[in-house]
Amino acid sequence: MKLAHVAAAAALLLAGAASAQTQWNTGTGANGHYYQFVSTPVTAQDAFAGAAAMSYLGMPGYLVTITSAEENSFVSSTIANGQLAWLGGSDDGGPVNAWTWRVGPEAGQAFTYTSWGPGEPNDCCGGENYVHTNWAGVGGWNDHGGPGNAGQVNGYVVEFSAAPVPEPESWALMLAGLAVTGGWAARRRR
Phi, psi torsion values for 8, nearest 5 degrees: -65, -40
Domain locations along the chain? 3-189
pTM: 0.78
Which pLDDT tens digits describe the chain residue by residue (190 residues)? 454 554 444 444 434 477 799 999 988 889 999 999 999 999 999 999 999 999 999 999 999 999 999 999 999 999 988 899 999 999 999 899 999 999 999 999 999 999 999 999 999 999 999 999 999 899 999 999 988 888 999 999 999 998 654 445 544 555 555 555 555 455 556 5
Q: What pLDDT score does 12 carry?
A: 45
| pLDDT at res. 17 | 72
Is 91:97 a contact under the CB 8 Å cutoff? yes
Q: Is there a contact between 34 and 57 (Cβ–Cβ < 8 Å)? A: yes
Q: DSSP labels for the chain?
A: --HHHHHHHHHHHHHT-B---EE--SSTT----EEEEEEEEE-HHHHHHHHHT-EETTEEEEE----SHHHHHHHHHHSGGG--EEEEEE-TTSSTT--EE-SSTTTTPBPSS--BPTT-----TT---EEEESSSSTT-EEEE-SGGGTT--EEEEEEE-PPPPPPHHHHHHHHHHHHHHHHHHHHHH-
Q: Candidates 3.10.100.10, 3.60.21.10, 2.40.50.140, 3.40.440.10; correct CATH number of 3-189?
A: 3.10.100.10
Angle between helices 44-52 and 3-15 in degrees, nearest 10: 70
In the prediction, which pLDDT does 172 show? 53
Using only the alpha carbons of the chain, give its radius of gyration: 20
